[in-house]
Structure 1
Amino acid sequence: MNYSVVIYIISVIIAAFFIMAFSKEANYGFIATLKEATGLHSHNFCWFFLVTKGIMRHNVNEKVQILGEGALVFVRPEDAHYYVWDEV
């Protein structure tokens, strides 16, 4: 990964933090286990999530992503996605 990509990713994270911290419309949550996750769905807003522990399977727009600890994912409003609760 080159430095310009890293700087862009960091900039997006910082911007998202400030939007969430200072906007009355910002929302955040914490899913402790994928057993709490929902089925196929989409949002009418941008969505970030961070994998803090373990490995998970995330299906987005009919493509599978295997994500591990430290993965930061950006989901667009038009993306249909869901999480799979199983051992990867």
Structure 2
Amino acid sequence: MSGVGYKQWEKISKALKSRAEAIRKALDAYNELALLMTPPRQTLTFNQALEMVTIADFDLLKDTQNNVAEMVWAKEEHHEAMRLHFQIH
């Protein structure tokens, strides 16, 4: 998490710790389904998922039926609004 200020790192760390069980359950569900797909998709470890800091790192979303790039939350202007709201530079 280089380039992230200490306060932001602390917030991210606390959020991940409080949501670790939910992240693990979602990851387990993804890994089960990934193996059932044709062709099978890449499975992920918990550490690999945590290293994916931005949504751009989730290449697995490119294989979905819906175009993720067209979703409201994927628009650049909404990213900028979130950065301003959370004071992330």
User: TM-score higher than 0.5 here?
Assistant: no
Q: Pick the structure with more strand per residue.
A: 1
TM-score, normalization: structure 2?
A: 0.31
Rg (Cα) greater in structure: 2
Q: TM-score w.r.t. structure 1 length?
A: 0.31
Structure with bigger RCO (C-alpha 8 Å, 6+ apart): 1
